[in-house]
Amino acid sequence: MRALAPVLTAALLAGCATTTSPTGRTQYVGAIPPAQLDQMGEQAFAEAKAKNTVSTDAARNAYVRCVVDAITRELPAGWQARWDTALFVNDEPNAFALPGGKVGVHTGIFKVARNQDQLAAVIAHEIGHVISRHHDERITRQLGTQTALGIASMIVGAKYGEGAARTTSQLGGLTAQAAFLLPKSREQESEADVVGQQLMARAGFDPRQAVNLWQNMIEASPGRPPEWLSTHPDPQSRLRELGARAEGLLPVWQQARGAGRAPRCG
């Protein structure tokens, strides 16, 4: 029965749309309409602002706004509408971006993002998730998995009873989480690294500072779960990839600076 859920999921995903990600990867998307996805992002952002303390520090808000504006000016057509930002009073070094053009930043991020280029690396990475349609992709896959597990449980229940159906659903969910959903999350994190580093370079931020940012992140978070249960790539592998990519992006950064894209945010 463990093999049944992925098979059923694949069949369900076949009914969704396929698209190509910014790095050329085939994606399954379209479980919900884009307008509804944007609405979900807007609602989640509104709830975050209602439930958490929003910073009134004018200088820091302007700093974040400047970085977001510089990055979003470099987005593909259709993504360049003004993005809303919020700076949350939260000591955890984190940031996020949501469909519908929303960016949230925790004040704790300034502990690891120690200059404008490092802050740009964080924000560009998060916006990279949005323009790569990762939210759409994950929702599509999760809905497919949930539906497939429901079908598998019904099949088992019809033959072996309710207890077996419940066990199948529970075990199947754990299997899907460990072997299907989380690996895709790591793939998306790596893709957001690629897209984000390209974005920051085109916006005039030094792509080499992405390496420094993640070094700071590692130092600030010495404990982490095993890679096979993590939604992020192995830290050392990530640093090597960011460093190699930064060298290739130096001409892009230098061209941006030469064209006058030289942000002075912080």
Catalytically active residues are 126
Rounded Cα distance, 123 and 104, in Å = 9
Contacts of 9 (CB under 8 A, 6+ apart): 141, 144, 145, 147, 148, 176, 180
**H-only helix segments in 52-133:** 58-72, 116-131
**Cα torsion angle, 148, 27, 71, 216, sign:** positive
Beta bridge partners of 102: 84, 98
Q: Coil, strand, or helix at residue 22?
A: coil
- Provide DSSP, 229-245: G-SS--HHHHHHHHHHH
DSSP reduced 3-state for 131: helix
Q: Which two tokens stand for residue 238?
A: 């990530």
Tokens 């029965």 found at = 1
- Would you state the structure tokens that stand for residue 171, as one six-digit string? 């075990």
Write out the E strands in the chain.
Answer: 17-20, 26-29, 84-88, 95-98, 102-106
